[in-house]
Chains A and B, each alone.
Chain A
């Protein structure tokens, strides 16, 4: 898809995120805004997937797992705008009886979601399992994941990193939302990840880096990652992003990790983002 088109979709996704969290005065806008460009590119330009006929097993489709489930608003918006379910349903986010739970779940059968997430650190293991199943099924499609950088503080992530390299899980592309922020402040202050690139390399992964807000670079890096699959090594992309990207008073601050804008702030924020596909 043309870069201009992807930018238009991402702008609408950001509007959706803000309107969703503001309507219920809860949810996680910061990381959601930061990953809007990535998920837009992934779903509209990179993955082979079937939005109109969702199947849990996803045979011969690329599969995505959101391991940092708290940024559900961006995923819900991208899923809806991709055609998994009507965009109007975004208005039910976090409300009683909604299929759009605060954190993604499978029990309400929202198309597009194959695994609950929210408790951090579990998605990479799950993705490794699905990648294994694809190999057993002789299914050549790929598994993609997204993780928060703060999430890497969970030990299970490193179990999965070790396992995937040792077992040559080479049909898996993990992406790290490297925004440097978590609830209590900067990742470096809370618990530094140290030299992340070197750690991934030492764990036996192919490591790429990309700017999470440059659509052309996202497209090129993800394509490069795909070209590197099947080479006996798992692939991880460290994606530099800004929490709150797209809204001037939110950008770069951990304060909007889990706080929704009030109506006045929402109006200000929406004024900075073009409505391109029609608000839900």
Chain B
């Protein structure tokens, strides 16, 4: 029986806030920057405890990214905070030149990613950010799956020297990663071991995939679930080890199918081990206003979509 200990329900952005607060207490070089979304990003505690190391830039994200890049010169470790849409698309050229190409130690921390931002609608529901960020040389892309992991990832990326994109979100979701779990950038978590199909998921889709694995288990199907919290560098060894056993794959992400986790996994498979792959993600469309969970259903990234994709992948073996 697939069972996970649940440590409560919280939003991943709060995990970021707690991780940043802890960093503020133990690493004097960590600085915070925010473009008028301190409450939404849960940066209040860091700001309160470290007023001299917190920089409110106003609604001027391009300037925020530039300031962050400049602060690395002098040894600071800047964590920028705003919504994922404004953390990426709005400032792509600033990130490209001043952060990625210049290889600066900036941590771009992005909340409200994907459809689960909900009612604000498509203007704010970025579904392309993983693609934009993973295409940049020097950039590490991390998409943690729950509150605990987001906290652990926030602390871990401060130790990594180089640009990082950290993507998290708004909805309250179950916490299933242990509070003392070790987070290693680029090393996937095998959450469930199984033999019939490998599900590789990131972010909120990891919980949906746990639910899907339970439903599949009830049908007698054994799922191996990989929490691919680091999209880049991708843990190809973990993928190939699992797939050589299960012989088929489902990828699941709260992102466009184009350019996301599924693309990265497909690249590994086509080069090494050709097996059927099914993609759970948003298929080349913008979102809309609505309740986050309703949106996930409408746009095909819910539990049942993962179940269907798994059955299809198995049938194609």
- Tell me the A residues contacting B by CB distance below 8 Å: 56-59, 63, 65, 105-107, 114-119, 121-134, 136-137, 139, 155-156, 159-160, 162-163, 166-167
Contact = CB atoms under 8 A, between A and B. Distances in A.
Nearest to B73: A130
3 closest residue pairs by CB, A with B: A129-B70, A125-B66, A133-B74
Which range contains the number of B residues in contact with the other chain? 20 to 34
Nearest to A143: B70
A119 B93 contact: yes
Contacts of B98: 115-116, 122, 125-126
Nearest to A160: B63
B70 to A, nearest CB: 2
Given A56-B73, A155-B62, A132 B97 contact: no
Interface of chain B, main secondary structure: helix
B58 A126 contact: no
B58 A162 contact: yes
B97 A136 contact: no
B60 interface: yes
Nearest to A63: B73
Interface of B: 31, 52-53, 55, 57-58, 60, 62-76, 78, 93-94, 96-98, 101-104
Contacts of B101: 105-107, 116
29 contacts: A59-B74, A59-B75, A65-B70, A106-B103, A115-B69, A115-B73, A115-B104, A117-B97, A118-B97, A125-B98, A126-B66, A126-B98, A128-B63, A128-B66, A129-B66, A129-B72, A130-B73, A133-B73, A133-B74, A136-B31, A136-B76, A137-B74, A137-B75, A139-B74, A156-B60, A159-B58, A159-B60, A159-B63, A160-B63
A131 B66 CA distance: 12
Contacts of A163: 57-58, 60, 63, 67
Nearest to B66: A125
Given A119-B93, A133-B76, A162-B58, A128 B103 contact: no
Given A119-B97, A122-B98, A129 B73 contact: yes
B69 A129 contact: yes
Contact of A126 (B69, B96, B103): B69
